[in-house]
Structure 1
Amino acid sequence: MQETSYNQKVLKEAKRQGIISCRLMLATVAVSFFTKLYLIFTRPHGESQEQLIKLLEGSVNFVLFLAAAVYMWYALKKLEEIYGADVLSIYKQMIFASIVFAVVGIAFGFIRGVEDRPAAIGAGLAGLFILAITVYLAVLWAKLNFSLAKITENTLFKTYVFFAIASFIIAFALQMMLSTGYFTAVFSILFAALSIAILYVLPTAFYLYAWTMIKEE
């Protein structure tokens, strides 16, 4: 009985931390959205001012994202403790892969502008490596959420995976259509841009809902 009570307490805390993590991730979207609105409605403004605003946006979002990652870490650590699952181990692999992705991405950005054959070869290899890491991260992400669905007996985590994939594909397709000039009328352009924004927000909002629906008993 005492062990059951302890597990329920730990599960409740893990659920709370998971919810906070999702809210922080949603906050990063809100920061980016309101920053873009501010830049649109305060034009004209100088290039230095725009760069400063974008720097502030990036700094705030980095802090929010880091806090979200820490809260998720502790939430998964607690779930791994009471269920004996490897969810935190998967998350650690995701963090390591993300760091490698960031380092390779920065290197790719530097060598892409160099116009010589070795740099071009290096850029091509870096591009392939980034693609491989992206696929690896996607597999780990799906594995993590399927594991969460299993141990918490909450199928919403599985639904989230398919929902997020569908949202990304539709949003990507709309972005490609926008960039190729498929939408010409102002209304259609605005509608497509708004749809893209919503499609990127909805999966995180659904993820938050999945965490709130974890049963604590």
Structure 2
Amino acid sequence: MQHRDKDQTDNSFNPTNVSRVKREHQRGAYDKETVFGILDAAPFCHVGYTIENRPYVTPTLHWREGERIYWHGSSASRMLRQVKTGVPVCVTASLFDGYVLARSAFHHSANYRAVMAFGTAHMIEDRDEKEQSLKVMMDQLWPGRWEELRPMYEQELKATTVVAMDIEEASAKTRSGPPVDDEEDYDLPIWAGVEPIVHGTGTLETDPRMLPGVPLPDYLK
């Protein structure tokens, strides 16, 4: 039987031996604000599962509504064929924020934000629910874009599988700030600090077959 902490609240996930951060446990967090913030900020996730006792990890776009994570892909996908039937999966998402340069090789590190979430994945079978979940994904990325697009063909919906996973337990692990050196090393004349990694989008690349005069949408400005 998994041991559960007694201080579970509606604002936190209650860790078990599966999700509890063990190494550098002071970096762990289980509150939903932290977990959801990282999931929403990360543009990509990785879904871990097993097929015939062999582990697989698949990168994919994801989106969240409440305590449910969604992802989608081709109905022919091996990963989606496996997880849509209702199987345990582990979803991870991470953001790399910078290299941490210390005064010794041992204390070099990285600043990051990461989440590990566990649950049972299942396929969204209702046609209207599937389409609505895809609309939510689009509107979270580019608010208002779904209404600009042509409606999805039925064959396109059939060719797309949407999978949902209710988060049963989750943990976040983060590091920020400068290096932590041995006290005697602070007197060494060696540069130390953080080389940050900047997250953002680059210059837009217009489709060469764009019709002339099509304005840039407000959500891309």
Could you say which TM-score interval applies, normalised by the shorter chain?
under 0.3
Higher share of residues assigned helix: 1
TM-score, reference length from structure 2: 0.21
TM-score, reference length from structure 1: 0.21
